[in-house]
Structure 1
Amino acid sequence: MLKFYSPLTGDFYKNDVDEYGWNNGVADYPTLFSGVDMVYYEDRIRDAIDQRNSADGGNLMLYFDERRNHEVKAKILSAIPSVEIRNGELTGCTTVRLEAPLTETEMEDLQDYLKGQFSDGWGEGFEQQAIQISNGVLNVHFWNAEHFAFEVVSVQSEESVKKPPVPKRPTMKLIGEDGNIFAILGRASRLLRENGQQEQAKEMTNRVFRSVDYYSALNIISEYVQTELSEKNLTKQKKRSDRER
């Protein structure tokens, strides 16, 4: 997944309120807003973008002509425009999801296409959408002819981030050891902590203290550490699952 960051500017038209408090529309001439000025209005701008994107999901690749570059069309799943606060200013942020990495030439073709969308396509339509804010209206421009460039950042999508491995349960013997439930709980808790499973040790202890009897407590402990009961419980669960099928 790639994020294409680009500068934003805005035209702010302040409400024309006379001395009697009457609103006579908006001023004739706008005040130029930078990305820093528009940070405060991020939610309103994002809502306006979502509204514009609602018709087709905002996927700019739907309009990409395959004859322009067949490989680019095949490699890119979507290119969704939005905004994001970056380094203290609101910037354009087009999220591009890929099927395969792009070559240097394909990256150039994609950036040229996105620039065209911001200057003449999607962006031209969006900048004409007046966004109501507290004391006037705001028109946001994704395109700036004088100072425009993409900053491309490669990020991991949520789907690609690997979850940390589940720690292996330590083994503890029950038969032939002290049968006092508090002694068993103490041994199990110590094993878990030594195995780096402090949270599991705390959770197990709380559950044991709430258990209704000795055997329920043993079964709870056997969920967190491998005991003779753990295998029996697993066998029972498998038989129950087979019967349900």
Structure 2
Amino acid sequence: MKFYSPLTADFFPNEPDYEDEFYDEYEGYPQDGHELLEYETAIRDAVENDTRDFGGDLMQYYREDDSVRNKVVTAVPSVEVHGNKLCGCLTVELKEPLLDDEQTALCNYISGQYSDGWGEGFEQREIDVGDGKLYVHFWQDHDFELKRDVPDMTEFNKLLNRPKKPKMQLIGQDGNIFAIMGRASRLLKSSGQGDKAKEMRDRVMSCDSYQKALNIISEYVETELSPKPTPKCDRGDAR
């Protein structure tokens, strides 16, 4: 789960123009998320360096013994491009989903960390960006919100709704490629994949070898030649 929030900064050039009406001696040039895009790498590196001492996990400072503590494994701040601007990005690892009131409690805690905890210290650290220094703010006193990212499920749903491949045996069957193609075509049509049947036939008719034709057919129906799923490794065997 990710939460995004506005990111702002003050930029102090190495050679400031004190006559510039937009320059403030104490606040430099204000920068918003769009202007901070060019400093993405420098800011991300600065966040990683600043949080290294506590493993980058803001939940280490969460003192409540409640369901949020039991469900949230880690809450790691960083930055990420979101909506064509650089934003604060909190990546939350969970044991199980948060209820609405638990999510509110987490967001309130993180808002406090951004304003009076970790973020208050981070915004005082200068970030060298070559032509000047940046001071980055994860919290603002107006228009601040931790907004949960809702992933686009379109492609995932397409995979879920994709028709399964019909199964067809090659071994011991007629070795005539046209007979094999005909059987595969009928299987596809019977499973509601008439468009795939036509696509398969067109590809088979334009290939130049028997083996290639079998491989093409095995992309559309499951045969002995179809790729087998890669077995999952036991976590205990990982190195």
TM-score range, shorter chain: 0.5 to 0.7
Q: Can you list the C-alpha shifts for 1:151-202, whole angstroms capped at 9, x where unaligned? A: 43253599xx67535622364889896x654x34653675587535479949
Does the C-alpha gap of structure 1 residues 221 and 112 become closer, same or farther in structure 2, counting only changes over 3 Å? closer
* Alpha-carbon distance in 2 for matches of 1:225, 1:102: 41
* Alpha-carbon distance in 1 for matches of 2:50, 2:70: 25
The 4+ residue runs of structure 1 with deviation greater than 6 A are 172-177
Could you tell me how far 1:69 is from its partner in structure 2? Answer: 4.0
Does the C-alpha gap of structure 1 residues 174 and 226 become closer, same or farther in structure 2, counting only changes over 3 Å? farther
Partner in structure 1 of residue 105 of structure 2: 109
Determine helix, strand or coil for the equivalent of 1:5: strand
* Alpha-carbon distance in 2 for matches of 1:226, 1:89: 45
RMSD of Structure 2 on Structure 1 (CA): 4.3
Partner in structure 1 of residue 8 of structure 2: 9
Q: Can you list the C-alpha shifts for 1:18-50, whole angstroms capped at 9, x where unaligned? A: 9xxxxxxxx964212122221222232222223
TM-score of the superposition, structure 2-length normalised?
0.65
Q: Which has the higher strand share?
A: 1
* Alpha-carbon distance in 2 for matches of 1:218, 1:8: 55
Q: How does 1:94-133 map to 2 (within 5 A)?
A: 94-133=90-129
Asked if the contact 1:39–1:85 (Cα under 8 Å) also holds between the matched residues in 2, the reply is yes
TM-score of the superposition, structure 1-length normalised?
0.64
| 2:77 corresponds to 1:78 | no
Could you tell me how far 1:138 is from its partner in structure 2? Answer: 0.8
* Alpha-carbon distance in 1 for matches of 2:4, 2:209: 53
Does the C-alpha gap of structure 1 residues 120 and 201 become closer, same or farther in structure 2, counting only changes over 3 Å? same
Determine helix, strand or coil for the equivalent of 1:94: strand
Structure 1 or 2, whichever has the larger Rg, is: 1
Partner in structure 2 of residue 63 of structure 1: 61
| 2:161 corresponds to 1:167 | no
Aligned residues: 211
Could you tell me how far 1:135 is from its partner in structure 2? Answer: 1.4
Partner in structure 1 of residue 234 of structure 2: none
- Gaps in structure 1 of 5+ consecutive residues: 19-26, 235-245
